[in-house]
Amino acid sequence: MVHQSEQNTMRYFRWGVARLILEPPECPDVVPMFIEGTDQIMPADRGFPKFLPRIGNKVAVTFGDKVDAEKVFGDLRTKWSRLKAKAGLGKRPLGELNKELMHGKEAVELRKECTRRVRAEVIKVRRSRGFSNEDPKEGRVETWRREGPKREGKMKDGTWVEQP
């Protein structure tokens, strides 16, 4: 999802990032990054020709340090493995989930916590670029529900949302 805000705030992180961390037999390397300036290259409110980038603008990509995955995500990965074993999925192919692992309360909470931790690592990188701390509510899906059913376009708070 593309989220453009003048304050460079971030929306909640989607669960795909949590699945990439929780499900593999070995935890992948996690290197947080923060990108700023894409809203100037391809602003959501751009007119014709919409498909062309706006040249002459700068983009900054800042990488953080590699995260100690065992320290940050180890407890969550252990809980996920137990949940998977309890669900009887043992050594099934990566990505194969049953109803309990998709929608069960404990699985959902694990994914939420994992994305919260990933987001916290990205916020450290964001801060290194001189941005102030975000309101912790910005990282919760419930905060963004206030926008209502509208999924794309200019939101009430002045941000732009676009789904590729």
37 lies in some domain? yes
| pLDDT mean across residues, the chain | 80
157 lies in some domain? no
Of 23, 5, 7, residue with least CA distance to 15: 23
Distance of CA 162 to the CA centre of its chain: 15
Q: pTM for the full model?
A: 0.75
pLDDT digits (tens, 9 = 90+) for 117-152: 998 999 899 899 988 777 666 666 665 555 555 556
Whole-number pLDDT of residue 4: 56
Whole-number pLDDT of residue 5: 63
35 lies in some domain? yes
Number of folded domains that form the chain: 1
User: What residue numbers bound the domain in which 48 lies?
Assistant: 2-135
